[in-house]
Structure formats: structure tokens, C-alpha cells
Amino acid sequence: MSDLGISRPKGQPLPKPPFLKRFFDSTLISVGIYVVIVGLIAYGAYIGAQGMGYNWQWYRVPQFLYRNTEVGFEWGEIPIGLVATIKLSVTAFILAMVIGLLVALLRLSDLVIGSAIAVGFLELIRNIPLLVLLYLFYYVLGPIFGFDRYTASILTLAVFHSALISEIFRAGINAVPTGQWEAAKSIGMSPSQTYRYIILPQSVRFMLPPMTGEVVHLIKSSAIVSVIAVAELTTFGRNIISDTYMSFEIWFTIALVYLVVTLILSIGVSHLEKKYAVDQ
Amino acid sequence: MNQATPMIEVTNLDKFYGAFHALKNIDLTVHQGEKVVICGPSGSGKSTLIRCFNGLEWHNSGRLVIDGIEVYDGAKEIRELRQEVGMVFQQFNLFPHLTVLENLTIGPMKVRGISKAQAEETARNYLERVHIPEQADKYPAQLSGGQQQRVAIARSLCMETRIMLFDEPTSALDPEMINEVLDVMVELADTGMTMVVVTHEMGFARKVADTMVFMEAGQIVEVSPPEQFFTNPSSERCRLFLDQILAH
Ligand SMILES: Nc1ncnc2c1ncn2[C@@H]1O[C@H](COP(=O)(O)OP(=O)(O)OP(=O)(O)O)[C@@H](O)[C@H]1O
Ligand SMILES: [Mg+2]
């Protein structure tokens, strides 16, 4: 299929790809197909809801986004919940990075005990469902160590995601050629100086894409803390629904908010990635 | 030369990779200011030997004393030693995320604790010495191979090293760049630096070597001054090897 390696006389136009491929590759057609598919799904949901006699009340949704009261403008529950979700996720992610880096360094260290501890930790975390981990932190460790539901949530998310993050660190660190280690050693750098000034700055490039995936993953899994009623987007959604019974409208809205946040994140990082690629 | 202080003293050194006997009963002394050129077929242990000299590899038995410091795995002085023993690699191994100037200053600043201003002054000085003062603010990827290798030499020199090790410094270079690197090495030799160079550049060896070493299968087969080495080597293997590489 590819014309790589096949010499073509210079200046001659490329042979035209088959009609079907050209048809599906054009931007207009792709967007069109996308819109049609999304439309069909939305229509299906609408018909289904109609069939069960659902009473759509979209006009009541905006008040949960913002309100203009006599005291003035005021944010609704959904943006407030979103901010809480972002705070929770950012805190958990930072903690997860710290734990993940420590576990990765332990695993890469020459200490047999160090890497054994790291592997044990990874296997343990990987094989416990997130919900069970949350219950462990909230109902078991919480009372023992005296932390509240918010701390329990942050610890759960951080510990759960630190496992994958440590693997991302490990892969990123291993992607730096050994010659860099040898050059750093040969000018007398200690292992910690080598990590700090030589290895980690170079692994950022390799770690950025999977790390973004992990942030997106964490933001989504943060919704699970609504089961212990921590104030965040999903919990607020549940509260609104129990007051208004508008499950369809509110869940659609909440899903859209998560989607928009994670999309913005991915686009932002792909710009960052390009910048890093140019710098090197 | 021989009344000078010994800088590298190797006695009865053995090195294994698992069951593989990579260095066998090595004895060698390098004096201050001496230039030693090591050659020998691929896999004979040349790299392994000089990598032992700055603790990138550890020997399993025998003794290795460098500038009065006994070298062994776990030696406390190993980081101080590495600051004294510079190493130039076949693949340059510059830090790609740092500019040329930063490549040269990061060691003095972070390892030796020298101020930025002073480190930069020294760095520019050495860039001048390797004839590329104008490249200070570029990244390694923007330089030619020959220029990169000269930056790598300057990086080692910035640590104020007393011994320089070279592991085939020109064999990754395009032919037209080999001489610019060798010229810098000849100039360095003229300053009185102690040098151990693994290379097959026999023109360079003839010009600077005080001692020639031929290795084969993990052993030092021949140690002699260049006049004798090139005209009348005592071992038959060495003669064959020289015939081979001098033939082209
Ligand atoms: N890390 C290692 N693990 C196992 N064996 C190794 C390792 N490094 C080197 N060796 C083996 O030790 C022997 C000597 O290798 P060394 O790199 O010192 O040879 P060399 O003389 O430098 O060869 P070349 O001219 O190809 O660079 C080789 O047989 C090599 O396969
Ligand atoms: Mg070698």
C-alpha cells in the first residue's frame, strides 16, 4: 500500500487513493459522520425516555449552573462541584506523583529489599478494586488514624493512581540512554544529582503523554468518592437529582462537564508536547 | 618518564562478567604525564579496562590504585576520584537537554560547588581551547559530531581532571571530522595531561604515545614504546593485528 522505497519519477503526481478512502478521509465527511452518530445516540435516548413517559425539563438545568438573585450573580452547584472535583484531583495527583516517584526509584534501586517492597506495593494496589480501597481508607484506616472523609478520598485516589504513575516514571527513566548515566557518573555526580539534573528532565518528554492519560483517568475515578458523600461534582449531581428527580438532564450535564474538562486537558498537553519536541 | 609519580597502578587485576573472564591478570603502570595508547581486536577488553579506571566497572580481584586512591566497589572516595579522572566516550554522551555551556558548567557547579560566574568563565576558556567558543549557546543536537566530541572533551577538562580516558573517541565520527578531534587531543597531550587512549588511529598513536599496549582476549599481550611496537613487536598476534589495521 505505501509507496515508501518505491522510486517514482520526480514531479509526477502521487497516484490517487481509491475513491472510498478519499471520501472517508475528508474533514467535512468525517465531521458529518460524527454528528450523525452522536445525533442517533441522542435521539435513541430521547425516544427511550419518551417511551417511559419521561418529562424533560431542560429549562430547569441552568439554575444549577448560575443564578441571578437579588444579591447578584451566583454560581450554581455544578460549577462549585467542578471546582471541588478539580481541587480534589489536583491534590490527589500531586500526592500520587510523589508516591509514584518514590516507588519507581525504590524499584530501580540496587537494594533488593527496596525493589521487593516496591513490587509488593504495586501488586497489592493493582489487585484491589478502587471502591474497596476507598472503603478500606474510610471505614478501616480512617477511624484508626483519625482522618476525615476528604482525607480518606485523597489518600485513596493518590495511592490507587500512584501504582500506574510509578510505572510511567520507571518507563520514562529507563528510556534515557545508559550513556547519560555514565557521563553523569564520570563527572562525579551522585545518583540523586544525576536523577535531578540529567535523567528526570530528559524523561519528561517520554512521560507527558501517559501522564496526561493518568490525570484524565484520575479525574474520572474521583467520581467514586461520591459514595462516601465527599462534596464534589458527582455528589452534587446526586443531591440535585434527589431534590428535583431530573436524572436524565443532570447526568447528561455532568457527563458533558467531565468530557469538556478532560478534552481541554488533552488538547493543552498535546500543545506542551509539541513545545518539548521542538526544544530538543 | 619513569621516575615520575605513578598515576595508575594495576596489579594482578581480574574482571568477570558472570562466568565470562573479561580481564585476565592485568598489570600496568601509567605515570604522571604519560600517554598510553591501547589497541586490540574487538571484544579484547579495552573498554572494560579503562572503565575500571573511573569506577564505571568494578574489578573482582587484584589491585587498582589511581592517584594514590585504592579503587574498589563501595570505596568512599570514588566520587572524588571520578572528578579527577575524565572520560570521553565513543558516543559523546553529551546532555541533550542542556546547552553547550550548561553541559560544561553543570559538573563544576553541582559537584564542585563552584559559582556560576566562575564556572562559565572556565567553560568559555576550555571552549576556546577546543576551538569552538562560538557554539556556547547551542544545543548538542545542533552541532556536528566532531564539535560534539570536542565539547565532551571540554566537559571533562572543566572538572580540572588530572587523568583523561578516551574510549575510541573518533570511531563514531565521519572521516572528515576525525582530525579536528585528534588535533585537540594532541594539543591536550602537549599540556602534560596523563592520558589513556583506546584507539585504532595509529597516526595519532605514533605522534603522542609514550607507551603502546596491545590487548587480546582479556589479556595485555604487549607493552612497548612506539618505535619498537610499530617496527618490531615481540608477539606474532600483535604483528598480524598491526598489518591488518595499517593495511587500510
Ligand atoms: N556488561 C557486560 N556484560 C557481559 N559481558 C560484557 C559486558 N561488557 C562487555 N562484555 C564482554 O566483555 C568483553 C570485552 O568487552 P569490551 O567492551 O571491553 O571490549 P573492547 O575491547 O572494548 O571491544 P570493542 O573494540 O568492540 O569496543 C566482550 O566479550 C564483551 O562481550
Ligand atoms: Mg570498546
Please give, rounded to a whole number of angstroms, the shortest distance from the CA of A7 to a CA of chain B.
28
Residue with the nearest Cα to atom 24 of ligand 1? Answer: B42
Site of grid cell 556556547: B136
Q: Collect all residues of chain A within an 8 Å Cβ-Cβ radius of residue B152.
A: 183
Judge if A39 and A108 occupy the same domain: no
Percent of chain B with pLDDT over 90: 79
Beta carbon of B42 within 6 Å of any ligand 1 atom: yes
Judge if A166 and A212 occupy the same domain: yes
Distance B168 CA to ligand 2 centre (A): 7
Q: Which atom of ligand 1 has the smallest separation from the CA of B215?
A: 21
For residue B41, what pLDDT is reported? Answer: 93
For residue B137, what pLDDT is reported? Answer: 94
Residues 94-153 of B with CB under 8 A from A: 94-97, 106-107, 110-112, 139, 141, 152
Residue A279 pLDDT greater than 80, yes or no: no
Q: Collect all residues of chain B within an 8 Å Cβ-Cβ radius of residue A177.
A: 93
Residue A238 pLDDT greater than 80, yes or no: yes
Residue of A180, A186, A193 with shortest CB distance to B110: A193
Considering only residues A214 and B73, tell me which one the structure prediction assigns the higher pLDDT.
A214
Considering only residues A229 and B136, tell me which one the structure prediction assigns the higher pLDDT.
B136
The residue-averaged pLDDT of B84-96 equals: 94
Q: Between chains, do B82 and A198 touch, taking CB under 8 Å as contact?
A: no
Residue of chain B whose Cα is closest to the Cα of A178: B93
Q: Collect all residues of chain A within an 8 Å Cβ-Cβ radius of residue B54.
A: 185-186
Distance B62 CA to ligand 1 centre (A): 19
Residue of A182, A190, A279 with shortest CB distance to B93: A182
How does residue A12 score in pLDDT terms, banded at 50, 70 and 90?
A: low
For residue A3, what pLDDT is reported? Answer: 45
For residue A23, what pLDDT is reported? Answer: 77
For residue A1, what pLDDT is reported? Answer: 43
Q: Name the domain count of chain A.
A: 2
Please give, rounded to a whole number of angstroms, the shortest distance from the CA of A201 to a CA of chain B.
7
Residue of B55, B110, B155 with shortest CB distance to A189: B110
Judge if A129 and A252 occupy the same domain: yes
Amino acid at B42: S
Judge if A87 and A131 occupy the same domain: yes
Residue A75 pLDDT greater than 80, yes or no: yes
Which of A9-23, A123-137, A138-152, B129-143 shows the lowest per-residue confidence on average (mean pLDDT)? A9-23
The residue-averaged pLDDT of A72-101 equals: 92
Instruction: Kindly list the distances between the CA atom of residue B131 and the CA atoms of A20, A193, B136, in Å, as whole numbers in the listed order.
Output: 59, 30, 11
Q: Between chains, do B89 and A189 touch, taking CB under 8 Å as contact?
A: no
The residue-averaged pLDDT of A85-95 equals: 95
Residue A118 pLDDT greater than 70, yes or no: yes
Give the Cα separation of B193 and A4 in Å (integer).
Answer: 52
The residue among A187, A194, A195, A205 with the most chain B CBs within 10 A of its CB, best to mutate, is: A187
For residue B21, what pLDDT is reported? Answer: 93
Residue A68 pLDDT greater than 70, yes or no: yes
Among residues A176, A171, A168, which one has the least CA distance to residue A195? A176
> What range does the domain containing A99 cover?
75-279
Which of A8-22, A25-39, B82-96, B161-175 shows the lowest per-residue confidence on average (mean pLDDT)? A8-22
For residue B204, what pLDDT is reported? Answer: 93
Answer yes or no: is A228 within a domain. Answer: yes
Answer yes or no: is A173 within a domain. Answer: yes
Interface membership of A275 toward B (CB under 8 Å): no
Render chain A in DSSP notation, one character per residue.
---TT----TTPPPPPPPHHHHHHHSHHHHHHHHHHHHHHHHHHHHHHHHHTT----GGGSGGGTEEEETTEEEE-HHHHHHHHHHHHHHHHHHHHHHHHHHHHHHHHSS-HHHHHHHHHHHHHHHTS-HHHHHHIIIIIIHHHHT--HHHHHHHHHHHHHHHHHHHHHHHHHHTS-HHHHHHHHHTT--HHHIIIIIIHHHHHHHHHHHHHHHHHHHHHHGGGGGGGT-SSHHHHHHHHHHHH--HHHHHHHHHHHHHHHHHHHHHHHHHHHHHHHHH-
How does residue A6 score in pLDDT terms, banded at 50, 70 and 90?
A: very low
How does residue A5 score in pLDDT terms, banded at 50, 70 and 90?
A: very low
How does residue A133 score in pLDDT terms, banded at 50, 70 and 90?
A: very high
Q: Which atom of ligand 1 has the smallest separation from the CA of B20?
A: 5
Beta carbon of B199 within 6 Å of any ligand 1 atom: no
* Count of A-B CB contacts under 8 Å: 64
The residue among A110, A111, A182, A186 with the most chain B CBs within 10 A of its CB, best to mutate, is: A186
Residue A2 pLDDT greater than 80, yes or no: no
**Every domain of chain B and the residues it spans:** 18-34+210-248
Please give, rounded to a whole number of angstroms, the shortest distance from the CA of B83 to a CA of chain A.
5
pLDDT digits (tens, 9 = 90+) for B24-62: 999 999 999 999 999 999 999 999 999 999 889 999 999
How does residue A14 score in pLDDT terms, banded at 50, 70 and 90?
A: low
Judge if A184 and A90 occupy the same domain: yes
Answer yes or no: is A63 within a domain. Answer: no
Judge if A101 and A161 occupy the same domain: yes
Beta carbon of B47 within 6 Å of any ligand 1 atom: yes
Q: What angle do CA B175, B189, B165 make, to 5 degrees?
A: 75
Which of A16-20, A70-74, A179-183, B71-75 shows the lowest per-residue confidence on average (mean pLDDT)? A16-20
Residue of B86, B95, B139 with shortest CB distance to A186: B86
Answer yes or no: is A64 within a domain. Answer: no
For residue A9, what pLDDT is reported? Answer: 52
Q: Is B3 helix (H, G, I), strand (E, B) or coil?
A: coil
Which of A49-53, A110-114, A138-142 shows the lowest per-residue confidence on average (mean pLDDT)? A49-53
The residue-averaged pLDDT of A58-67 equals: 84
Answer yes or no: is A69 within a domain. Answer: no
Indicate which CATH number applies to the domain containing A97: 1.10.3720.10
Residue of chain B whose Cα is closest to the Cα of A179: B93
Judge if A29 and A151 occupy the same domain: no
How does residue A60 score in pLDDT terms, banded at 50, 70 and 90?
A: confident
